[in-house]
């Protein structure tokens, strides 16, 4: 896992709520490109999802994460294995 993706995933896991990209940039001191790369990497592995409307995560078994264009909030997804 890339370092920025690891930091992002850990932060989302610890706060356990949707977080705005602005808050993530400030908290993790990531620039826009690093945040985009990290969130895309995590979304590809279905570990986070974006929510432009602030409705929260889908994340239920059998449902695909929704990853609209950048903006809105990010939320980590925890799945039972």
Residue tagged 């609209």 (tokens): 68
Which pLDDT score is estimated for 48? 85
Domain spans in the chain, listed from the N-terminal domain onward: 3-76
Consecutive 10-residue runs of the chain (81 residues): their mean pLDDT?
92 87 91 92 86 46 41 59 40
DSSP code string of the chain: --HHHHHHHHHHHHH-S-EEHHHHHHHHT--HHHHHHHHHHHHHTTSEEEETT-------TT-PPP--SS-SEEEE-----
Q: pTM for the full model?
A: 0.67
Q: Please count the other Cβ atoms lying within 10 Å of the Cβ belonging to residue 60.
A: 8
Fold of 3-76: Arc Repressor Mutant, subunit A (1.10.10)
Which pLDDT score is estimated for 55? 44
Which pLDDT score is estimated for 38? 92
């Amino acid at each position: 896992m890339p370092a920025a993706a690891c930091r992002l995933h850990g932060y989302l896991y610890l706060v356990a709520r949707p977080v705005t990209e602005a808050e993530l940039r400030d908290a993790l001191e990531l620039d826009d490109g690093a945040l985009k790369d990290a969130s895309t990497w995590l979304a590809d592995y279905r570990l986070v999802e974006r929510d432009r409307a602030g409705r929260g995560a889908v994340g239920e078994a059998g449902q695909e994460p929704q990853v609209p264009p950048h903006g809105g909030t990010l939320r980590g997804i925890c799945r039972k294995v």
